[in-house]
Amino acid sequence: MWRGFRRPLALGLGLLAMPVLSRSYADRLADAVAAELSRALAPLRATVRQVGSDAPRDEEAILSETPALRAAVHDAQNARRSPRPSRAPVARGLRISRAQVLALAARHAIPQAVPVKATAYHPAGLLLRGVSALGVGLEDGDVLTEAAGQKASSVGVVIGIVLAARARQSPEISGRIYRAGAPFQVTVEQPYPKATIPG
């Protein structure tokens, strides 16, 4: 009586065991691949840590790499310290329009930012380079300390903040910039071009 059920029973039990066996095999395979990749990429680890580090650096070390930037930052700091004749107050805000953002995107303009430690002139943040040439009012040596109310501790953090704001379709993203010890707000309007359907 049980002879007719043996084959279907064996096949059924085999099918039930399949997920367990395949999961075990996949786990062993994944461990082996991970171990091999780890061994193969070991020589690159030290290089990646040195080059791609988001650890804040000393601002003077960064400025010493670019003498022109160092001179500009030091001149701005010295000018701020020296007494000056009274003038009309300088606006303490900067707005970058949607049109400017689209123009920069079309030019593939990508400035650089390097994490820096806090100094007497600014809190910890990102030292901006390559922004003077953008023509939007930012200057090389400006330090971004906040983006959308959050600390700008690394380039990755700021990119995450911007992506999250764009996912919510925020009309603008604001940040705090320090220039020669003086803070001001920068507001970047966010364009959301309508997708065109080819046809």
Contacts of 62 (CB under 8 A, 6+ apart): 114, 116, 127
The residue assigned the tokens 């379709």 is 169
pLDDT at residue number 90 = 44
* Chain CA centroid to CA 102, Å: 19
- Supply the pLDDT for residue 186: 96
Tokens of 59: 């601002």
Distance of CA 121 to the CA centre of its chain: 23
Rounded to two decimals, the pTM is: 0.59
How many angstroms from the chain centroid is the CA of residue 3? Answer: 67
Report the alpha-carbon distance of residue 147 to residue 11 in Å, rounded.
60
The rounded average pLDDT for each run of 10 residues, N- to C-terminus, in the chain (199 residues) is 55 56 60 58 47 60 64 63 49 87 90 92 93 93 95 93 93 95 95 76
pLDDT at position 199, please?
59
